[in-house]
Amino acid sequence: MKKSLGLLMIALQAIILSGCLSLFPEDEEVEREEVTDPDEQMVEVVPQLVTPDNYYRSVLYDGAYLHGESRGFGNSVVYNRLDLDKLEIGLQRIAQEYFEPEEYFFREGQFIRRNQLNAWLMRYDEDDNPTGLNPPLGDEDDLKAQEENQPRVLSHILEHNYLVENSNGQFNLGGIVIGLSLNSVYNFRVEDEEGLFYFYETDIPDDVIENEGQELADRVLERIRSENFEEGAFTDIPIVFALFQEEPRDSAIPGRFIATAKADPNSGIDRWQRIDETYYLFPSRDANNNVRNEADQFQRFSDDIQGFFDTYVGVVGTGRYLDNQIQELTIEVPIRYQGTAEIVAMTQFAANQIQERFDEGYKITLEVTSISGNVESVVIVNPNEEPVIHIF
């Protein structure tokens, strides 16, 4: 039976790391728990936001969000923004398997320093960069062959910290999650004798990516657990690793997590667990061939939206699948519009058609965007819940 729709005109107060909305009434202040650490620094905990995503509560220091040491660094080394977004929020999703959100608090990584990260991501050089984790160039005569035969597999390292509160109200490090972002295609350039640059790319096989990623995790763990890193403070800290395989730069879908593993206190990595995660673009040939049910549902929804307008609307979607089961669907509807009333009507119609056309059981997020790329409205439909609609 069709559910009734409610238009919730609510103010946007906060944005969760993934871009999902944290919604509070305009006249309601956000309360925070306050404690003081040994250095008399005020530590505040953002209260629990009850959502199906079960987000971690973040820790604020002196009233401010503490950015990670590598803030903004990923934009320079991960060329597909879709990859970076999924890496960041996906690490928190993986963390939930090891660190209970009711007991742990989130903080961006503070321990792998920016200069360290930069050196680790570079190629190894015995004299100039002995800490480089990517391989040295090959022994071939020309630079193109040297690059192709020794591609850089490691693209980025992202660290997240998870804190626990002790009996004195102090927050201590309880766990670390580290994402290793790995190239599936290595892009490089070569300069000729006349100073002209030529751009090349070489594919990296899946088995090489996985094997290299596991070896890199062992090496990163050894460094973090060494006495030279933060004076050996992390020997007793559990550390979780997740391998993320990036998509090519021009891909319309993001990369995916391929494996995860945990190193318990005073121990090495136990064993790797593979992750069967896949993204599909709607509409696409891959979706039609591999996930026919959702592809048909999406096409009917797209036809509905098209019928709402007298001009063409290019509706696109991205579905995330785990073990061949859809987990969430994100839809974008870019439109030309003449007024806010049209946006309201379109958004209400889209929310209704989501319920009509798609199966329940997974989260669906729809964004109506203008031609300039601005988000004009959002519809969020969680399983077995009424749609939440926000008009900007």
Q: Could you read off the pLDDT tens digit of each residue along the chain, which spans 392 residues? A: 334 333 333 333 333 333 333 322 333 333 333 333 434 567 777 665 555 567 889 888 887 888 888 787 777 788 777 888 899 999 999 999 999 999 999 999 999 999 999 999 999 999 999 999 999 998 888 899 999 999 999 999 999 999 999 888 889 999 999 999 999 999 999 988 888 999 999 999 999 999 999 999 999 999 999 999 998 899 999 999 999 999 998 899 999 999 999 999 999 998 999 999 999 999 999 999 999 999 999 999 999 999 987 777 789 999 999 999 999 999 999 887 667 888 899 899 999 999 999 998 999 999 999 887 889 999 999 998 889 999 98
Contact 166, 137 (CB under 8 A): no
d(C-alpha 82, C-alpha 79), whole Å: 9
End-to-end CA distance of the chain: 30
- Dihedral sign, CA of 302, 296, 7, 377? negative
